[in-house]
Amino acid sequence: MRREKGGFWIAFCAVFFYPMGWLLGRSRFDGKEHIPSTGGALLVANHISHLDPIFSGLVVHRARRVPRFLAKNSLWSKPVLGWAMRGSGQIPVYRESADAQHSLREGTRALSEGKVVVIYPEGTITRDPEGWPMLARTGVARLALSADVPVVPFVHWGTRDVYDGYKRKFRPLPRKPIIVRCGEPIDLTAYRGRPLDAALLREVTDVIMCRVKELLAEVRQEEAPVQFFRRGADS
């Protein structure tokens, strides 16, 4: 299988991400075969650490595809990182602004052009004390229903043991196990072609995130909570 061409900035990021991934933990990537070798795909992940994008990028790149992340627009203002984000075709997310719909349009266009788009529907790292997913934003449902492409759930576990963003604890040593696992695409056939009202978007979002939660439970070998954690009004 030929590798999808990513250009200079994807190669630039790979030079840093592969060694960084090795240094940060003993990583294992399961289920890469569920990422389509060609054509568009929406990859939907949990979010437990600011390190997750490194390992999200690695699992997609190991599947010989190029990841396009939906990421907060403030990253585009960072030196070097902003150039890399712009040059590699990443998609800025403008929350609660007139440009918010622009992110979804760009994500839809990327999917329709046959690209792999990665999204963290929670919008930020989970505030659940046990690391389970929070109630997600419905933008993921809009993307999933906007283009008829595979919707692939995947999860990270172990990254928060290395870096806990809320507690500001960075513990790279000893190197810890980190697992990234991709699951089978989610069948959303029953939801396609219906009017995109708030009820449908909420239902589809929860269907997708329930599968993410189940996949995380498999990795953790624990029973997942029935309800999604709800963030506070100030979160």
**Is 203 inside any structural domain?**
yes
**Is 213 inside any structural domain?**
yes
**Is 99 inside any structural domain?**
yes
Per-residue pLDDT, 5: 77
Per-residue pLDDT, 87: 76
Averaged over successive runs of 10 residues, the pLDDT of the chain (235 residues) comes to 77 88 96 96 97 96 94 72 76 69 87 96 94 96 94 98 95 96 97 93 98 98 95 56
Per-residue pLDDT, 1: 67
**Is 21 inside any structural domain?**
no
- What does the H/E/C string look like for the chain? CCCCCCCHHHHHHHHHHHHHHHHHEEEEEECHHHCCCCCCEEEEECCCCCCHHHHHHHHHHHCCCCEEEEEEHHHHHCCCHHHHHHHCCCEEECCCCCCHHHHHHHHHHHHHCCCEEEECCCCCCCCCCCCCCECCCCHHHHHHHHCCCCEEEEEEECHHHHEECCCCEECCCCCEEEEEEECCCCCCHHHCCCCCCHHHHHHHHHHHHHHHHHHHHHHHCCCCCCCCECCCCCC
**Is 232 inside any structural domain?**
no
**Is 144 inside any structural domain?**
yes
Q: What domain range is 118 assigned to? A: 26-220
Domain count, the chain: 1
Q: What is the domain-level CATH number for residue 65?
A: 3.40.1130.10
**Is 233 inside any structural domain?**
no
**Is 3 inside any structural domain?**
no
pTM to 2 decimals? 0.92
Per-residue pLDDT, 233: 45
